[in-house]
Amino acid sequence: MINLIVIVISAIMFALLLVWWRWPAFRSWIEAPKYFMLHQERRFDDKPKG
Amino acid sequence: MTNFAEHSPYRTERGNAQTLGALPSIEYSLIRAHVFASLVTLVISALFGILVATKFTFPEFLGGHGWLTWGRLRYNHTQGIFFGWLGNAFLAFFYYAVPRLANRPVLSRKLGWFLFWIWNFAVVLPGWVLVAAGFSQPLEWAEFPLVVDAFVVLAFILMVFEFVLPFLKARLSDLYVSAWYTIGGIIFTMLAYPVGNFVPELVPGAQGAAFSGLWIHDAVGLFVTPFALAIAYYVIPATTRRPIYSHFLSMVGFWVLFFTYPLNGTHHYVYSAIPMAAQKGAIVASAYLGMDVILVVTNLLLSLRGSSGTASKDVPLRFVWFGVVSYLVVSLQGSGQAFMPVNRFIHFTDWVIGHSHLAMIGFGSFVALGGIAHLWQHIPGTRYNERMMNWSFWFLAVGLTLMVTDLTIAGLVEAQVWESSAPWIDSVRAVGSYWLVRTLSGLPILTGFVLFWISLVTGPRLSEATTSATSRVAQENNVAFEEIPEVSREILSTGWLSYAHVVAFGAGVGFFALSFLVLAILPGKELADEIKRVAPVTMSTLTASEQRGRVIYGREGCAYCHTQQIRFLAADVRRFGAPTEAWETKYDYPQLWGTRRIGPDLSREFDLHPRDWQLTHLYNPRLVVRDSVMPPYPWLFSGNANQPTQEALDLLAYLQSLGRARQLSGFEQQVLVSNVRPATPDMAMPREASARATPPTVPIAMTGGYSGSAPVLHPSSNPGDLQEEVSRGGTLFAANCASCHGAAGRGDGKASSSLLPKPANLTAARFSDERLSSVLWNGVAGSAMPPWRQLPAEDLRALVAYIDSLHVPEAAPAAPEPATLLLGKAFFIANCSSCHGVEGAGNGPAAAALAPSPTNFHLKKPTEQRAWEVLENGVPGTAMPPWQNQLSGDQLHALVEFVRSLYAPPQENSGQ
């Protein structure tokens, strides 16, 4: 049980770090949603009133 | 203001910004409705909590009717916070955030109102009413009855349609972490809720507890945490106008949370009968969860870098910040609590209650309040009253800090007492002042909630045509959106990532299924095999009366104060008896193991207390245990303890069945001989070897029958020391004995009217030190007198000295005539020796079968008046019959003289 948990979590972490390290474009992709969220905030703020 | 479309990365990707289309509509009316419902239920639930806390100090307060008893209020307190407050608050946030994050409206306004009515008028309100009326489910975080659970599941299915479907139409590259948490929380709670609420009704005892443990943690981990983090991840960038520090880290945090949280559940049952592999798996998962929380909180706090000014001015953001810090503290605390060296000490104590309040108020509620306050500023026409909001924050922060600190210390105090051999009631006495402080700390918290509500309804009224609240705040605080960089087009054009959310969804469901497989299904199978292997074939099911009593036990919330699981710990075994084995609960649907001890464990209640003691205790616990905080249950009686209703008798029958199978099975011998469960050697913990291999012959809680090893406790022969002992004994007597024996020891305490035989009148006889020591050590079988050998020897000696002092020496009577004594002896041998023995030593041929045992007149000398009373009237509740119709006055007189002449205690040191 303990081994299973440790192996799975380690594998997830290792895979994510590997992708992050080997594929710089992934970094831009994975960070994109945080800008989309702000983009939407601004769109709502700029919504014409009335 | 910058024309945002000009700079949007989505313009470069999609050709022009218009592809995002028109802004989706937001259901402001539903937001307002859920905010209103959340605050109404929050205040009501907090009031329930304060009533519950008050009852620790004043157990009789509102204690006359079942609707307001502690257990039912406790159920409604936690379920009200869970469904009423947090559920509505999260729903309000979804209606606000989902259209923004998905760039699509929620599925349907009509569906939204249907969901609102389901949530509040098919779940919260009927749940409260049914629990108060006595229809509930005695499972932690699953207290609403099954009929309500069905509507909860329906509500989560509706949430999938209302909130998850809009996201599925969105591009993965747009899916912000708050959206992930919203989707994950809804889907996984929808999956976990039935497993935690329905399965324990189908799977008994230890196996059911494994499922319950999962839900206890999933309620926090898959409902409160994801939704609160969704709010935190939303409010921080929306307020600071800057993106979060790292979306990559936020996604790592998300996936590790959803993988490890469901694996945590069994850490609520460390040292239990659940297989050790599952326990240790949960402990390791708890450690990982702590690391994950550090990652998440670091990311959130780094997202606030350079925004300290905003955080100090913006109260909603301050609420969220406080919640995030609490999340870190409570999670690290939780991980630590799972470790065995900590768990063995603090589990079941108020420490855990402090922990859960820090989680539900400090984290969940603070973040939810921050979320509500934030969105309130964005609803057209509304704005909060900033001054009130500020006061609300400080009342809540101070109240919560006081409460958590107080309960944490109280937990340490309780744990310390439980480790000792002191009577259980000493732990209750030790934390009485802490419970009072806890109650008082609830008042600023309630005030904070009320002020928050007032803040929302007393803010400036704005017309819907005015500038949106966000823009106003941004302008006032001089905060601007951080420049948004271009997103790489290369990665956005990568085909396989279009399917990443499918893979991710599959992985999430896989994690969820894995948790139930490894923490519930596999341990359950192992337990089933063990039960089949070791359970006695003669083990009987509960009778109909006992089964009804079990329902009452659950209905009144008894399992929230009394566990039914003796852990594999020396301290537990020493106090309560042999550890609880899985087979003992094989007929328990659902399990009633409990996760908290305010009163003692009840696993070995069988044969522990006599019937009249139990009934008196249920009618009003303080009649027999002066400082008990247990609620009274007068509605189970017709006016007094001597008139139990059928419900009281059913509950009594159930209580007296607890541990019966174990005691009647001869299982102890099997355990010792076979060293059972070779398949799980881990259970034999090195430091707890004594817990399993050598259970004590006489646990603290048990009567254990007569013990020949009872020491004879002689009070001091030094007059000065004796005086001190008498004084100390008086204090002990008042605390432990007076409720039955009366303040003056005349056997007329508050409980005496409902006990049979009556408590002894300690002024009506001279007792030898040997007799008193034996009674204190062993109790009196067949009466309500319990053993007190858990008290230190010096306390027992002080009690002997005090009881000695109660006897007023009689004026020296004239020496009885020898002829009278001879006559008395003759009558005694003819009529009394079969019970009391020829020599009056209480050892006649019938004595062994009698409880209470016949009096040994060598060790007890009744006063003349008492001897007459007994001979004339007998002793109700014992085998001693009245003799006034069988013997003449002269004969009775001869008997009185004779039995009083027998007193001949061994040499005693007492100065008396």
Q: Which pLDDT tens digit goes with each residue over B242-284?
A: 999 999 999 999 988 888 888 888 899 999 999 888 899 899 9
Same domain membership, residue B736 and residue B686: no
**Alpha-carbon distances, residue B785 vs B545, B624, B658, B875 (angstroms):** 26, 10, 20, 16
Backbone region of residue B242 per phi and psi (left: phi > 0; alpha: psi in -120 to 50; beta: other values): beta
DSSP state for residue B362 in the 8-state scheme: I
Contacts of B278 in chain A (CB under 8 A): 1
Band of residue B607 on the pLDDT scale cut at 50, 70, 90: confident
pTM: 0.89
| pLDDT value, residue B13 | 41
DSSP H or E segment with residue B455:
helix B432-457
Is it the case that residue B903 has pLDDT exceeding 80? yes
In angstroms, the CA B40 to CA B85 distance is: 8
Is it the case that residue A20 has pLDDT exceeding 90? no
Q: Which domain holds residue B727?
A: 719-806
ipTM of the shown complex: 0.94
Query: A23: how many CB neighbours lie within 10 A of its CB?
Result: 14
Does residue B107 lie within any of the structural domains?
yes
CB B23 to CB A29 under 8 A?
Answer: no
Contacts of A45 in chain B (CB under 8 A): 1, 468, 470-471, 474
Same domain membership, residue B313 and residue B342: yes
In angstroms, the CA B389 to CA B395 distance is: 10
Average of per-residue pLDDT values in chain B: 87
CB contact B457 to A (< 8 Å): no
In angstroms, the CA B209 to CA B215 distance is: 10
Compute, in degrees rounded to 10, the torsion defined by CA atoms B496, B501, B502, B505.
Answer: 150
Q: What is the 3-state secondary structure (H, E, C) of B147-172?
A: HHHHHHHHHHHHHHHHHHHHHHCCCH
Segment B416-431 shows an average pLDDT of: 92
Q: Which of B24-38, B803-817, B856-870: highest mean pLDDT?
A: B24-38
Of B98-107, B323-332, B478-487, B622-631, least confident by mean pLDDT is B478-487
Is it the case that residue B39 has pLDDT exceeding 80? yes
In angstroms, the CA B62 to CA B68 distance is: 6
CB contact A3 to B (< 8 Å): no
In angstroms, the CA B144 to CA B867 distance is: 58
User: Which one of B1, B10, B470 has the shortest CB-CB distance to A39?
Assistant: B10
DSSP state for residue B658 in the 8-state scheme: T
In angstroms, the CA B703 to CA B830 distance is: 34
User: Which one of B244, B278, B471 has the shortest CB-CB distance to A45?
Assistant: B471
In angstroms, the CA B190 to CA B744 distance is: 61
Is it the case that residue B51 has pLDDT exceeding 90? yes
pLDDT digits (tens, 9 = 90+) for B346-364: 999 999 999 999 999 999 9
Q: The domain spanning residue B872 has which CATH number?
A: 1.10.760.10
Same domain membership, residue B738 and residue B686: no
Same domain membership, residue B842 and residue B788: no
Does residue B908 lie within any of the structural domains?
no
Is it the case that residue A2 has pLDDT exceeding 60? yes
pLDDT digits (tens, 9 = 90+) for B157-180: 999 999 999 988 777 667 899 999
**Of chain B residues 145-174, which have a CB less than 8 A from chain A?**
173-174
Does residue B397 lie within any of the structural domains?
yes
Distance from CA of A7 to the nearest CA of B (A): 12
Same domain membership, residue B170 and residue B146: yes
Which candidate in B7, B104, B174 is best for mutational testing of the A interface (most A CBs within 10 A)? B174
Does residue A6 lie within any of the structural domains?
yes
In angstroms, the CA B389 to CA B371 distance is: 13
Is it the case that residue B445 has pLDDT exceeding 70? yes
Distance from CA of B647 to the nearest CA of A (A): 45
| pLDDT value, residue B427 | 96
Rg (alpha carbons) of chain B, rounded to whole number: 33
Band of residue B405 on the pLDDT scale cut at 50, 70, 90: very high
Which candidate in B252, B283, B462 is best for mutational testing of the A interface (most A CBs within 10 A)? B252
CB B248 to CB A1 under 8 A?
Answer: no
Q: Which domain holds residue A36?
A: 2-45
Contacts of B237 in chain A (CB under 8 A): 34, 37-38, 41
In angstroms, the CA B142 to CA B719 distance is: 61
Rg (alpha carbons) of chain A, rounded to whole number: 19
Same domain membership, residue B850 and residue B795: no
Same domain membership, residue B833 and residue B800: no
Contacts of A46 in chain B (CB under 8 A): 1, 4
Contacts of B465 in chain A (CB under 8 A): 49-50
Q: Are B449 and B397 in contact (CB under 8 A)?
A: no
| pLDDT value, residue B6 | 42
CB A45 to CB B497 under 8 A?
Answer: no
Size of interface A-B (CB pairs under 8 A): 140
Tokens 């013997």 locate to B887
Same domain membership, residue B159 and residue B48: yes
Contacts of A4 in chain B (CB under 8 A): 281, 518
Tokens 């474009």 locate to A25
Query: B103: how many CB neighbours lie within 10 A of its CB?
Result: 23
pLDDT digits (tens, 9 = 90+) for B468-482: 445 555 555 555 666
- Nearest to B536, CA basis, from B586, B601, B590: B586
Is it the case that residue B784 has pLDDT exceeding 90? no
Burial class of residue B14 in the structure, from the number of CB atoms within 10 Å of its CB (0-12 exposed, 13-18 middle, 19+ buried): middle
Same domain membership, residue B733 and residue B651: no
Same domain membership, residue B672 and residue B576: yes
- Nearest to B451, CA basis, from B399, B395, B378: B395
Closest chain A CA to residue B236: A38
Tokens 């500023």 locate to B377
CB contact A21 to B (< 8 Å): no
In angstroms, the CA B848 to CA B792 distance is: 30
| Secondary-structure percent of chain A, ordered helix, strand, coil, rounded to 5 | 85, 0, 15
Closest chain A CA to residue B253: A13
Is it the case that residue B556 has pLDDT exceeding 60? yes
Of A12-26, B449-463, B674-688, B878-892, least confident by mean pLDDT is B674-688
Does residue A50 lie within any of the structural domains?
no
Q: Are B414 and B350 in contact (CB under 8 A)?
A: yes
| Secondary-structure percent of chain B, ordered helix, strand, coil, rounded to 5 | 65, 0, 35
Tokens 């994050």 locate to B101
CB B482 to CB A43 under 8 A?
Answer: no
| pLDDT value, residue B534 | 84
State which of B781, B806, B831 marks the end of a domain: B806
Same domain membership, residue B877 and residue B842: yes
In angstroms, the CA B450 to CA B459 distance is: 14
Segment B7-26 shows an average pLDDT of: 58
User: Which one of A16, A34, A44 has the shortest CB-CB distance to B247?
Assistant: A34
DSSP state for residue B644 in the 8-state scheme: B
Q: Are B283 and B340 in contact (CB under 8 A)?
A: yes
Max CA separation in chain B (angstroms): 126
Please name every residue paired with B767 in a beta bridge, in sequence order, or none if there are none. Answer: B860
B337's CB contacts (< 8 A; 6+ apart) are B267, B343, B346, B347, B351, B352, B355
Is it the case that residue B892 has pLDDT exceeding 60? yes
Q: State how many domains chain B has.
A: 4
CB contact B883 to A (< 8 Å): no
Segment B290-306 shows an average pLDDT of: 95
Is it the case that residue B11 has pLDDT exceeding 60? no
Q: State how many domains chain A has.
A: 1
Contacts of B466 in chain A (CB under 8 A): 49
Contacts of A35 in chain B (CB under 8 A): 9, 243, 484-485, 487
Same domain membership, residue B158 and residue B26: yes
Residues in chain B: 912
- Nearest to B80, CA basis, from B22, B40, B24: B40
Give the up-direction half-sphere exposure of residue B521: CA atoms within 13 A in the CB hemisphere.
8
Does residue A16 lie within any of the structural domains?
yes
Please name every residue paired with B68 in a beta bridge, in sequence order, or none if there are none. Answer: none
In angstroms, the CA B581 to CA B124 distance is: 37
